Amino acid sequence: MTHTIPATLDDFTPEWLTQALGEEISVVEIEPVGQGVGILGLLGRLHVTSGGGGPRTMIAKIASPNPETVRIAVHYGFYLNEVQFYRECSTTPGLRVPAAYYSDINDDGTAFVLLLEDLAVARIEDQVSGCPREDAAHVMDAVAALHSFWWNSPKLDDLTWLRPLNNDAYKSSGQQYAAVWPGFVERYRDRVPAHSLDVASRFPDFVADLFDWMIDTQPTTIAHTDLRLDNLFFAHPDGSAVTIIDWQLSVRGMGALDVSYFIAESLATDDRRACERELLERYHAGLVAGGVTDYSFDQLYDDYRMSLLAQLSIPVVGSSMDPGNERGVRLFDATVVRLLTAIEDHGAERFLPV
């Protein structure tokens, strides 16, 4: 490990990179990327030239410069999660993630660094516009591979950094949720169904029990819990249909959390309504192909609808954070409206555990 963790993109000097990568780096040019996409940290594309080779690029990821954002990230273990995921889980069969060239994190989790494979050669889509249906099908295949490999696996116990969904920080999210709720209502009351807004207002009352129920009674796996279009790259030249990035929010929890989060928030509402069941059937078939034999489609469908409620804290609390730019504002608006519309469509409160 190097003796410092970069706090700004300008800290990625040739000297720092030489020490981190173990090769002589003679030139580095830094290009900020991801504005309005990544809120929890800073991203930069590094154009580097080494003494023994020509120019190449990589992605640098570090903590946010915003102290409140860092406080939230540490409270929920976001930075530690991502560093450890790349160290211990990136070789999960059937899962394509960026190669990690270097990682480090400080003792209190307030600063971290990742040097990752640059996926610029792959295709990206715009979450604000919505995921094309054919790409959504490939996402179901990828997440089914992840979930089926770790499904109720004893290997989960070895991942001591991977907190269960019902960890104290997540269960206490109702307090932060309640604090930002008045501003959320003011912003969205005229843009979302009134009934789903009423259901969402009750989140602090049921979140702890819901998370306990999910962990105590349901199959668990590694759940990404931020599986959305901005965190996906498609059609890599190496043949990978989907590459998944940004593992900061990962937990031990239900696979349906990822499925509902992606379908409800990354597809335009009309597309979601048209292909929702088809995508769920494809995901379930992928679980079965991966060796999951004791999880029916009907159970998945119920878990999917309950998970619409479990994910409420992410867009509600997130909408109170600095969005970075106008694109970030439009992203939050799109995800909030889509999620609360899906909750309305499914009458999701009926699926809360009694």
Residue 34 counted as domain residue: yes
Q: How far apart are CA 37 and CA 265, in angstroms?
A: 14
Least confident of 65-79, 82-96, 259-273: 65-79
- Say if 1 falls within a structural domain: no
How far apart, in whole angstroms, are the C-alpha atoms of residue 159 and residue 257? 19
Residue 277, domain CATH: 3.90.1200
Position 176 in a domain: yes
Examine the domain organization and report whether 94 and 165 are in the same domain: no
DSSP notation for 248-274: TT-EEE-THHHHHHHHHHHS-HHHHHH
Q: Are 163 and 220 in a shared domain?
A: yes
Domain count, the chain: 2
Identify the CA nearest to 227 among candidates 249, 258, 250. Answer: 258
For residues 110 and 223, membership in a common domain is answered with no
Cβ-based neighbour number of residue 296 at 10 Å: 9
pTM of the prediction? 0.92
How far apart CA 344 and CA 185 sit, in angstroms, is 16
Dist. CA 164–CA 251, nearest whole Å: 5
Expressed as residue numbers, the domain containing 152 is 133-351
Taking residues 259-276, report their average pLDDT.
97
Indicate whether 123 belongs to any domain. no
Question: Taking all residues of the chain, what is their mean pLDDT, rounded to a whole number?
Answer: 92
CB atoms within 10 A of CB 64: 21
Which whole number is the average pLDDT over 225-230?
94
Q: Which residue has the higher pLDDT, 147 or 66?
A: 147
Does residue 104 register a pLDDT over 90? Answer: yes
Q: How confident is the model at residue 39 (pLDDT cuts 50, 70, 90)?
A: low
Q: At residue 271, does pLDDT exceed 50?
A: yes
CATH code: domain of residue 94? 3.30.200.20
Whether 201 and 344 map to the same domain: the answer is yes
Q: Is the pLDDT of residue 105 over 80?
A: yes
Q: Considering the domain boundaries, does residue 148 fall inside one? A: yes
d(CA 343, CA 5): 42
Q: What is the DSSP string of 139-170?
A: HHHHHHHHHHHHTT-GGGGG-TTS-BTT-HHH
| Helices 256-266, 269-289: inter-axial angle, 10-degree rounding | 150
d(CA 350, CA 244): 32
What percentage of residues in the chain have a pLDDT greater than 70?
A: 96
